[in-house]
Amino acid sequence: MAIVPEDLKTGSVFLNDDGELVIIDQTQLPNREEYLVLRTKEEIYDAIKRLAVRGAPAIGICAGYAMYVLAREKASLSPEQFMKEMREVGEYLNSSRPTAVNLSWAIKRQLGVIGADPSRCAEEQIDLLRGEAFAIHKEDIEMCTRISEYGLTLVKPGDGILTHCNAGPLATSRYGTSIGPVLLGKERGIDFKVFADETRPLLQGARLTSFELFRAGVDVTLICDNMASMVMKNGWVQACFVGCDRIAANGDFANKIGTSGVAILARHYGIPFYTLGPTSTIDMNCPTGNDIRIELRDPDEVRSMWYKEPMAPEGVKCYNPSFDVTDHELVTAIVTDRGIVYPPFDVNLAKLFA
């Protein structure tokens, strides 16, 4: 039996007491709260690919646990064969969502545990992988708490905050990143008014962000993506908080498709625009946003996914990028677990890792 600390039975990804990987199936929310037990590399790959588990930090936590869970079936292998097969597992899982840097980061971290002493027997390696997976999860809880604390200093009670996609507890471990300050503020009796973009085509804002905030008692208003300009023009928004899936060394960042449009609108209306994320999301080996690979997804997510009947002519072409890249010049600041980073980002992000 695997011993799981009580404080790590939180968020949308965790181990049960049998050492099995469990996720909340985010594709079923808000109507059904279903849990999936993932036992094979194919099940884990599929869960990441189809967004049953999503959000950069949650994907990283999932990857950390996945490497442990999948290692357990290799306990009888020699040290050399164990290392070889775990590298293959890592490469396979990493191909499921190439844009999210936390996925590759967590896999590399677990492979580093094995590689620190490749001569160790498989049983020893498996115990170490479990401990490292717990460490990844715990660190994310701590990082999200610090991000939320820093973000809370950027707004005042009663402010209107616009957010895009979902970067709450479902996408992380606790509080979240972009809506973390809102949830932490709520705990402390500080109220905000949140405008949640529905976030086409997968509706993470409608299905997940409004679900989390409404359940927490936050004053949340769901809007279609193309209504953001109107609520900004009306003076209802004092700050934009969004998450991030990969931050380049110059401050450009990838986030859910539509984020860059929010940043452009915010600049036009003079509204501060912040991205919030853990330092594990910063890729200093990625010079600019032009170097971020953008995942293209199934056109049917646009044509027919949420409709009883298709809402576009059969055979019409669709362009469905999962992310876009927001230029660093549109970003007021990047809120991390190590502090708030202001321009020039190429200089100040590097200082985080000095």
245 is catalytic: yes
The rounded distance, in Å, linking the Cα atoms of 86 and 349 is 32
Select which of 197, 245, 324, 337 is catalytic: 245
* Residue 118, token pair as written in the block: 């490749």
The rounded distance, in Å, linking the Cα atoms of 255 and 237 is 20
The rounded distance, in Å, linking the Cα atoms of 61 and 58 is 5
Cα torsion for 36, 38, 41, 43, to the nearest 10°? Answer: -30
Alpha helices in 72-171 (DSSP H): 79-94, 101-115, 122-152
Please name which of 281, 289, 162 lies closest in space to residue 224, comparing C-alpha atoms: 162
Cβ–Cβ under 8 Å, residues 139 and 110: no
Please name which of 176, 119, 122 lies closest in space to residue 148, comparing C-alpha atoms: 176
Cβ atoms within 10 Å of 268's Cβ, excluding its own? 11
**Residues assigned a catalytic role:** 245
